[in-house]
């Protein structure tokens, strides 16, 4: 709190003027929101997983943050898989070992739970009293890798699938074996993991449990770049090959397609038996930056300002983005009809919207068909109402803030992709 008072002093001091004053006010506002809307949850290191070879890229133990359920929610479980893109070869995976995305030694000890992880009914009415867990991401493969041998040159471990199994065994032992309700969810690369592991997760729980999966900003599409290259398709193929992921991807897809193509939900989701809900921006800011206009496809940086702020996009760039939206909707529609699948596709320039209070549930949160994301997801989970809505094209939705929320996102780990 002393830091807040200090910032307030600086903000109001005559020594600070103009843009700096506005910046400090914004920081103060953000800190206040974090304090009032979120709550801190400490980290847990799963040391027992090391003996099973279930380790981060650097060999450190996996970790998670666990806020126990209470009241009527003690037998309900919400598990969120953290995101953070992927590494596609020995060099990029080695680089991640020097960050929190490759080593639990470098993770912060406490994180703030808000949005769908909030423990307050006001901010999270349907899930506030559940067991709420955030599994940290340190394997670079959306929890799909499993290479037995350690890379002799880099000393890097590719064991994402083992991490998933180890933490699930731990939760089952802590009471999840008695679950009455459960959701496997994620953000970005973690959201893709939630899709890929969805049916496997359901199989771990009691037959009578109500189990569903939630994907937040995980519907990555197989689209070409502005230069016409199949950049993301090649990248995913390299991820799968490097991590030995093929055997841990849904067989309903790998039996038909090259395993690298099974990282695209458009090729997987139709065969998933467990109910699935997709929350995604049609103009997903991460996808625009890394699939449509990555640095390798934009060497002169023509798209740089546009990618940072959609208001700075030229009419030509907006037209290209409108085309990307249509391609995204085509991929979504290719899944076909489903009585259990729901979706909330807004037209915000955003990435990951369930874990941030501002976009999950607040008076000023985005709305689609007059409905917040929290209301749509809650209604779908409890079978109150199936929600399948697609927003009108940008810029018609005036509820969007387009502030580019990407707390769990990072660029692709390639040498040619901008940061």
Contact at 8 Å (CB) between 234 and 82?
Answer: no
Is residue 156 pLDDT above 70, yes or no? Answer: yes
Residue 188: pLDDT band with limits 50, 70, 90:
very high
Per-residue DSSP letter, 242: H
In the residue annotation, 169 being an active-site residue is answered as no
How far is Cα 204 from Cα 114, in angstroms, rounded to an integer?
27
Please give the mean pLDDT across all residues of the chain. 91
- Residue 184's CB: how many other CB atoms inside 10 A? 31
Per-residue DSSP letter, 54: -
Contact at 8 Å (CB) between 306 and 324?
Answer: no
Residue 401's pLDDT is what?
76
Of 35, 76, 82, whose CA–CA distance to 378 is shortest? 76
Average pLDDT over residues 244-267: 98
Residue 30's pLDDT is what?
46
Strand, coil or helix: what is 119? Answer: coil
How far is Cα 186 from Cα 259, in angstroms, rounded to an integer?
22
Residue 241's pLDDT is what?
98
In the residue annotation, 351 being an active-site residue is answered as yes
Q: Among 7-21, 215-229, 322-336, 341-355, which is the least confidently predicted range?
A: 7-21
What's the pLDDT tens digit per position in 51-99? 999 999 999 999 999 999 999 999 999 999 999 999 999 999 999 999 9
- Kindly name the residue from 65, 197, 243, 351 that is annotated as catalytic: 351
Average pLDDT over residues 210-232: 98
What's the pLDDT tens digit per position in 93-141? 999 999 999 999 999 999 999 999 999 999 999 999 999 999 999 999 9
- Kindly name the residue from 67, 139, 170, 284 that is annotated as catalytic: 284
- Kindly name the residue from 188, 191, 347, 365 that is annotated as catalytic: 188
What's the pLDDT tens digit per position in 262-274? 999 999 999 999 9
Average pLDDT over residues 344-364: 97
How far is Cα 112 from Cα 160, in angstroms, rounded to an integer?
24
| pTM (predicted TM-score) | 0.90
- Residue 302's CB: how many other CB atoms inside 10 A? 13
Is residue 205 pLDDT above 50, yes or no? Answer: yes
How far is Cα 336 from Cα 343, in angstroms, rounded to an integer?
13
């Amino acid at each position: 709190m002393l830091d807040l008072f200090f910032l307030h002093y600086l903000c109001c001091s005559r020594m600070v003027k103009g843009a700096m004053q506005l910046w400090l006010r914004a920081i103060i506002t953000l800190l206040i929101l974090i304090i009032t809307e979120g709550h801190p949850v400490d980290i847990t290191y799963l040391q027992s997983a090391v003996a099973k070879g279930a380790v981060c890229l650097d060999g450190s133990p996996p970790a998670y943050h666990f806020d126990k359920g209470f009241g009527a929610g003690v037998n309900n479980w919400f598990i969120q898989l953290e995101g953070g893109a992927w590494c596609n070869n020995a060099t990029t995976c080695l680089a991640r070992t020097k960050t929190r995305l490759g080593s639990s030694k470098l993770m912060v000890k406490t994180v703030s739970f808000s949005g769908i992880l909030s423990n307050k009914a006001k901010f999270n009415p349907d899930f506030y009293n559940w067991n709420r867990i955030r599994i940290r991401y340190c394997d670079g493969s959306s929890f799909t890798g499993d290479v037995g041998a350690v890379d002799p040159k880099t000393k890097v471990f590719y064991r994402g699938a083992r991490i998933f199994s180890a933490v699930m065994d731990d939760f089952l032992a802590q009471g999840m074996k008695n679950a009455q309700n459960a959701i496997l969810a994620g953000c970005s690369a973690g959201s893709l993991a939630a899709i890929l592991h969805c049916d496997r997760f359901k199989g771990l729980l009691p037959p009578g449990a109500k189990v569903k999966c939630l994907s937040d900003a995980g519907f990555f599409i197989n689209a070409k770049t502005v230069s016409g290259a199949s950049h993301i398709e090649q990248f995913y193929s390299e991820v799968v090959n490097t991590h030995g992921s093929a055997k841990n991807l849904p067989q309903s897809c790998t039996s038909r397609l090259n395993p690298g193509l099974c990282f695209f939900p458009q090729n997987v989701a139709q065969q998933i038996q467990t109910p699935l809900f997709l929350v995604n921006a049609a103009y997903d800011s991460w996808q625009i930056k890394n699939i449509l206009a990555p640095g390798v496809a934009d060497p002169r940086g023509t798209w740089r300002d546009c990618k940072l702020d959609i208001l700075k996009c030229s009419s030509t760039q907006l037209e290209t983005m409108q085309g990307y939206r249509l391609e995204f909707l085509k991929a979504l529609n290719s899944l076909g009809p489903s009585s259990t699948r729901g979706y909330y596709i807004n037209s915000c320039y955003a990435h990951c919207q369930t874990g941030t209070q501002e976009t999950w549930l607040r008076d000023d949160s985005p709305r689609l068909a007059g409905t917040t994301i929290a209301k749509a997801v809650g209604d779908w989970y409890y079978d109150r109402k199936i929600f399948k809505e697609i927003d009108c094209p940008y810029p018609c939705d005036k509820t969007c803030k387009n502030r580019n929320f990407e707390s769990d996102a990072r660029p692709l780990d390639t040498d040619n992709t901008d940061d």
